[in-house]
Chain A
Amino acid sequence: MPNYILPDFEVERRDDRCIRCRVCERQCANEVHSYDEENDVMLADELKCVGCHRCVALCPTRALKIVKYSGTFRENANWSNQSILEIYKQAESGGVLLSSMGTPNPCPVYFDKILINASQVTNPSIDPLREPMETRVFLGKRPQNIERDETGKLNNNLPPQLELSVPIMFSAMSYGSISYNAHESLARAATELGIYYNTGEGGLHEDFYKYGPNTIVQVASGRFGVHKGYLDVAAAIEIKMGQGAKPGIGGHLPGEKITEDVSRARMIPVGTDAISPAPHHDIYSIEDLRQLVYSLKEATEYKKPVIVKVAAVHNIAAIASGIARSGADIIAIDGFRGGTGAAPTRIRDNVGIPIELALASVDKRLRDEGIRGNVSLVVAGSIRNSADVVKAIALGADACYIGTAALIALGCHLCRTCHLGKCNWGIATQRPDLVKRLNPEIGYKRLVNLVTAWQHEIKELLGGMGINSIEALRGNRLMLRGVGLNEKELEILGIKHAGE
């Protein structure tokens, strides 16, 4: 069948700089570069280029540049190049389009239309270099009342909590979708930072049990790698109901990614597909969810919080209200722009709602119903920087999950081809020659640097507002103003327009 597909990129090679060292050729798992010995030239098959910039970064003479393919179909505002190419791909294969990472489409980013307040004249700002600033948060159920024994001493009726030095956690990314070295980097960074990383639904590698006190283990519909030891070692257990990048559908790790080691963590045979069906087969209602929440609590003797993770969808406020009554300690909400190791393009780009709107409406609903204290709220789905964290907390979140940002810290260049399993940066791959490119010793330090830097920025933003504790910012929507938002958007976000 004829192939009409155009390249996404062009490889520009400055011949005056190229020394034919062939680093680019060795570094590219997509096999873009090759050497023609007869003519002593480097060649490039641009159709294979995913734009990951590995060759650019490692070229010793800076001879390489990857640029957007300049060829174009006849201009058409309705039929973009992308739309046309997608049809060619499907007409040639009959396949469902598969993509990775969060949607690249220009959907509104409400965080960018929200501005943060600062103190001027009438109330003092606080200098975080001079005064203590508290960024520590606790996640879990708050007791509804104070209990005392007959002598008047306080009964400790505090349900299990997670303590975070800063309201940021690494979101669920399974071993299988990302590499051993990526997992090790996340686990070590979480331990050093006093936060948590999340195993995702692929089980926990035996080498990482030692990071248990800083590990959240996930239980998804496929129940991969779930057993007593896995539940026991964790600091918290997350029930995965949904994911922002692909609400309403399941996951599917292809057999080629189930290597010997991944198979051990998932506890399934090597080379078989790991299918996570869309629903949990035992959850059709909030009552059923409650049953799984308590099943996990019973299995771990009520010693750890249970998180329920859902995708942000249209009725998220009602869904969250149900979850808050299910016995769950923490609700994690993953927004429309959230990342993924693989999702059908149409689902990723068209299903779900932005996290800002979901968070604002959930927080309001839980407050209105007087059950906000039943749960903590963790939000995800494209938290890109410390200002997003601060805005999320002011909208009502207790903490944020970061996934894509953490991977970028590890070297991800957002080429969005994780599902190919040939990540040149050693992150979203199981090929040993590629995995070793990510040194966990360096990777974990980069993550620690990132979160530490964000912590400093959060303190500065807090200090500017005259607030010295992150807890005092939570749900403090007066600290936010919208720009360029319509009345309905402002109403849902629960904030005023700038100038009001």
Chain B
Amino acid sequence: MVINAYGLDFKELNAKIRAVGSDCVVEGCIGQRYIGEGLDGVTLKLYGTPGNTLGGYLNGATIEVFGNAQDEVGDTMNAGRIIVHGNIGDAAGYAMRGGVICVRGNAGYRTGIHMKEYKDKRPVIIIGGYTGSFLGEYQAGGVIIVLGLGGPSPYTGNIVGEFPCTGMHGGKLFLRGRAEGVDFPAQVNVRLAGEEDRAELAGHLEIFAYSFGYPLGWLLDSDYTVVTPNTKRPYKQLYVQN
């Protein structure tokens, strides 16, 4: 089933996608918001540029975008896959709890903000390029991987922007390379990836390698920096009973 999105507003387009209720291709996306919200069990292939909150509350569906996506990709996503062949905007994977967001290009500010995990749900965000500032802010779980394949950000000279991992209290961040010159906050531990980390990383990167045609061995042929929180209770000592 092919839907032509051109000229439809988000309400009409999303109603059509829901009405189809099975795999479909959407052509001519032009900024329509909320595409695929809450969907499970289907595959959407999108051409053009979908708007904000692509795949919000996604519940198991697969969304593949052959172009760029905008802000809040996978907002509060629970399960499923979002694969973007271009760049994405700000706040991708906000409070995401499960599933995978896999981006070939760059990401904006606040990627993976307040990402969580729960039982067998461990969300993963993989950014092939660089990210903006505030990467993994308040990260409470899950895995964020930044590869920086196209080189560092022209704005900061690093593959991440300013202030990564502020308020991080769970989960794990992988940065390709040695993250030299990146300023991390006091409440995280920063180290080079060991054998176990690299085995875990290899598992996460399979979808990236497969989706965008990179050899997995080549992706892994580099140092990786691992960032984890040094406490689950960053605010424990802050209060006194009154």
Determine if B31 is an interface residue (Cβ-Cβ < 8 Å).
no
Residues of B within 8 A of A86 (CB): 242
- A90-B240, A295-B34 given as contacts; is B140 within 8 A of A272 (CB)? yes
Determine if B232 is an interface residue (Cβ-Cβ < 8 Å).
yes
The segment from B22-30, B109-117, B157-165 that touches chain A is B109-117
Determine if A273 is an interface residue (Cβ-Cβ < 8 Å).
yes
The contact of A277 among B18, B138, B238, B240, by CB within 8 Å, is B138
Distance (whole angstroms) from the CB of A254 to the closest CB of chain B: 7
The segment from B71-79, B175-183, B220-228 that touches chain A is B71-79
Chain B's interface: helix, strand, loop or mixed, by majority?
loop
- A231-B38, A282-B91 given as contacts; is B141 within 8 A of A269 (CB)? yes
**Most chain B beta-carbon neighbours within 10 Å: one of A90, A98, A273, A301:** A273
Residues of B within 8 A of A267 (CB): 97, 116, 118, 121
The segment from B50-58, B144-152, B202-210 that touches chain A is B50-58
Determine if A228 is an interface residue (Cβ-Cβ < 8 Å).
yes
Determine if B234 is an interface residue (Cβ-Cβ < 8 Å).
yes
Residues of B within 8 A of A263 (CB): 118
Determine if B129 is an interface residue (Cβ-Cβ < 8 Å).
no
Residues of A within 8 A of B59 (CB): 227-228
Determine if A419 is an interface residue (Cβ-Cβ < 8 Å).
yes
- What separation, in Å, do the CA atoms of A267 and B122 have in the docked complex? 11
Name the residue on A nearest B240 (C-beta).
A95
Determine if A455 is an interface residue (Cβ-Cβ < 8 Å).
no
- What separation, in Å, do the CA atoms of A34 and B113 have in the docked complex? 49
B116, A299: Cβ atoms closer than 8 Å = no
Determine if A93 is an interface residue (Cβ-Cβ < 8 Å).
yes
A294, B34: Cβ atoms closer than 8 Å = yes
Determine if B167 is an interface residue (Cβ-Cβ < 8 Å).
yes
Residues of B within 8 A of A221 (CB): 114
Residues of B within 8 A of A302 (CB): 11
Determine if A252 is an interface residue (Cβ-Cβ < 8 Å).
yes
- What separation, in Å, do the CA atoms of A95 and B167 have in the docked complex? 19
Determine if B211 is an interface residue (Cβ-Cβ < 8 Å).
no
Q: How many residues of A contact B (CB 8 A)?
A: 44
Residues of B within 8 A of A345 (CB): 242
Chain A positions 276-313 with a Cβ under 8 Å from a chain B Cβ: 277, 281-282, 291, 294-295, 298-299, 301-302
- What separation, in Å, do the CA atoms of A317 and B239 have in the docked complex? 33
The contact of B94 among A269, A272, A281, A417, by CB within 8 Å, is A281
The contact of B141 among A92, A227, A268, A298, by CB within 8 Å, is A268
A96, B118: Cβ atoms closer than 8 Å = no
Determine if B172 is an interface residue (Cβ-Cβ < 8 Å).
no
Distance (whole angstroms) from the CB of B16 to the closest CB of chain A: 13
A299, B38: Cβ atoms closer than 8 Å = yes
Residues of A within 8 A of B141 (CB): 268-269
Residues of B within 8 A of A255 (CB): 232-233, 236
- What separation, in Å, do the CA atoms of A38 and B94 have in the docked complex? 61
Chain B positions 112-134 with a Cβ under 8 Å from a chain A Cβ: 113-114, 116-119, 121
B242, A299: Cβ atoms closer than 8 Å = no
Distance (whole angstroms) from the CB of A327 to the closest CB of chain B: 11
The contact of B140 among A89, A275, A419, by CB within 8 Å, is A275
Chain B positions 5-45 with a Cβ under 8 Å from a chain A Cβ: 10-11, 14, 18, 33-34, 37-38, 40
Interfacial residues, chain B to chain A (CB-CB below 8 A): 10-11, 14, 18, 33-34, 37-38, 40, 52-53, 56-57, 59, 71-72, 75-76, 78, 91, 94-95, 97, 110, 113-114, 116-119, 121, 137-138, 140-141, 167, 169-170, 232-242
Return 24 A-B CB contacts under 8 Å, by A number. A89-B241, A89-B242, A90-B240, A92-B240, A95-B239, A95-B240, A97-B239, A97-B242, A98-B240, A98-B241, A226-B95, A255-B233, A267-B121, A272-B140, A272-B170, A275-B167, A277-B167, A281-B114, A282-B75, A295-B33, A295-B37, A298-B34, A298-B56, A417-B241
Sample of 7 more A-B contacts, CB < 8 Å, known A222-B114, A267-B121:
A89-B242, A90-B240, A269-B117, A282-B94, A294-B10, A344-B239, A417-B241
